[in-house]
Amino acid sequence: MDGLPILILSALMLSLLYIVSRRIDLSRYGLEVGPVYIMLKTEKAIKLLDRLAATSKMFWIVYGRIGEYIGIPLSVSAMIFLSWNLASFIVPGGEPSPILPFLPGVTVDIELFLYLLIPVAIAMLIHELAHGVVMKIENIPVKSAGIFLALLFLGAFVEPEEESYSRADRRIRRRILGAGSLANLMLGIASIILYSTLFTAPEGLIIAEVESSSPLRSLGVDRWTVVYSVDGVKMTSIREFMDYLRGRIDSYVTIYTSTGSYTVKVSRDLSYGIGVRLYSQPYRRLLGLDIAPLNFYISILLAGLYLVNISLALFNMLPLYPLDGEGYILSFLHLGGDTGRIIRISMNILMLILLVSNIGLTVTRIGYLITVKP
């Protein structure tokens, strides 16, 4: 799937709308248009926040109290993770995780980006929704709320009345700031529980592409074919598959798949030695169903919900401007004047160094592109 034309078309349409907005006042319709984004401010979003706050007021009061303190373990966890990951880059034999900004076509390949659009949109929507409802519960006026579209990113925003928010008690500000990450944490945990419950353990690997020069193409093997084993050795990860075939260059292997077994010669000139590309997501069956496309799309949706929401819950609480974590941590320090500014600047510099170091080492040691078909 090549999503680049879709991104380009989206950018052109938004740019055209931006040109129109320079000639026609769209603000009377609640629209704010930039070169590559459109924002809709609507009273309906504020009324939705009112209804949610009124319907389950006691739940949201308790939720806000939890959000007041959940930022502490999330912020500490984010800092520990980044520090540990940085050490893993430096220490020989370490196994660091890739840390990269989410940039479609740059750090995330277009196909994976399209698969993650729905998880990202859901994560952003519930994040801002939680902020807004807790504002209502704590009697902080909401200045504006609505949705936005930036290229293909769909999200939401909730803007408090700044003076009321800045005058609010520190505990109230912590409840509002922590509410978004708490929502993402809860959805992330729910997603992984659902994923573990509905799907079987990995059973094989899914073929994403069959090259024209592959001996499997003439045998009728195509996308969505599931590879279960090679020479009777079960395959549940791409690394296992690669390592096995690397050791059998110029030899014949028998591949057992969902469409039959095939004996082919392994060549160093073909992808993975047999001219295929595989999805990084292993094959799991949903409730026992053996429908590869359905199982793949639902599993990548749930895995995406888990990954995006847990990442957002943690890194949003990193004490680094403009993330919520900066205001959250500063609310505990009760510092003002020059001392407060020095601490704030020092904290931001330290967190920025920690984050940039992880990103820089990821680019130089691992690579800068995360793909659904490695």
pLDDT tens for residues 81-118? 999 999 999 998 888 999 998 887 788 888 888 899 89
The stretches of 24-93 forming alpha helices (DSSP H) are 43-55, 57-90
Question: Over 70: is that where the pLDDT of 51 sits?
Answer: yes
Share of the chain above pLDDT 90, in %: 64
Residue 118, domain member (yes or no)? yes
Are residue 176 and residue 92 in the same domain, yes or no? yes
Between the ranges 4-18, 226-240, 331-345, where is the mean pLDDT highest? 226-240
Q: Which domain holds residue 27?
A: 1-41
Are residue 48 and residue 156 in the same domain, yes or no? yes
Are residue 212 and residue 273 in the same domain, yes or no? yes
Are residue 256 and residue 312 in the same domain, yes or no? no
Residue 372, domain member (yes or no)? no
Are residue 151 and residue 247 in the same domain, yes or no? no
Question: Over 50: is that where the pLDDT of 38 sits?
Answer: yes
Residue 83, domain member (yes or no)? yes
Q: Is 114 helix (H, G, I), strand (E, B) or coil?
A: helix
Are residue 213 and residue 263 in the same domain, yes or no? yes
CA 222/CA 108 separation, integer angstroms: 25
Question: Over 80: is that where the pLDDT of 303 sits?
Answer: yes
Are residue 46 and residue 135 in the same domain, yes or no? yes
Residue 289, domain member (yes or no)? no
Residue 288, domain member (yes or no)? no
Are residue 262 and residue 339 in the same domain, yes or no? no
Last residue of a domain, one of 256, 283, 310: 283
Residue 290, domain member (yes or no)? no
Residue 291, domain member (yes or no)? no
- What single-letter DSSP state applies at residue 364? I
Are residue 215 and residue 137 in the same domain, yes or no? no
Q: What confidence score (pLDDT) does residue 141 get?
A: 93
Q: What confidence score (pLDDT) does residue 341 get?
A: 87
CA torsion through residues 322, 324, 325, 330, sign: positive
- Name the domain count of the chain: 3
Question: Over 70: is that where the pLDDT of 4 sits?
Answer: no
Q: What confidence score (pLDDT) does residue 1 get?
A: 44
Q: Return the amino acid letter for 130.
A: A
